[in-house]
Amino acid sequence: MKKLTDKKGYICDMDGVLYHGNKLIEGAREFVDWLKAEKKKFLFLTNSSARSPRQLRQRFSDMGIEIGEDHFMTSALATASFLADQHPGARVYVIGESGLISALHDKGFSIDHVKPDYVVVGETRTYNYEQIEHAIRFVLRGAKLIGTNPDVTGPSEAGIVPACRALISPIELAADRKAYFIGKPNPLIMRHAIKKIKCRREETLIIGDRMDTDIIAGIESEIETVLVLTGITAKEDLVQYPYRPDHILDCVADIIRMA
């Protein structure tokens, strides 16, 4: 049986795996240093749509880790790419942060508060009732409802916080429409990730803290999976799921410590 360190490519979640809020998780720096020293192909793939790759690079830099922007992929980027394939130049109404807005702008979409073709929802700390009202009205008029990711909650330094699916639910319920979600475990974002690191599935490892997004994404994409217990899913939660990760580790650095 091959060691986890024998893989050529590593797709790694961030929130709950490498950091909580602005605080690095134990072993995160050690793992990233190893990826760079061994010249591994790696991608930090997050379901969060709030920050752009430039902002994520700066965030890591502020925590003492230097990584190029090309090593980051977000659900915002995947959402913008999906919409560009579906409806180039469409008008969008956005509930989200700068990372999502920038990704959509970069793909040529215009923000429309009157008659959008799509309502796109991501994580945001400025969510309000007026935005919900507008979104419901647009969806009832025919706009398609898109969620950047299906996460109900996310980790933070203070504990669990609501994520995209929790924020989009009032719109779904009031408009009687189901959103289409782009982020993990949607195979769309996994195909983007594999293409970006230029590795075959059998050469790749996916590392995450959530059974319902990271691990199922790996299983459905036929990529070997590692669940780390530093984020959302606890060991006692595993009985709730009809599938299992290939490996369960206390933290991400255990991948190299076990070598």
Catalytic residues: 13, 15
- Spatial CA neighbour of 206 closest among 224, 188, 221: 224
Cis peptide before 242 (omega within 30 of 0): no
The CA distance from 145 to 177, in Å, is 8
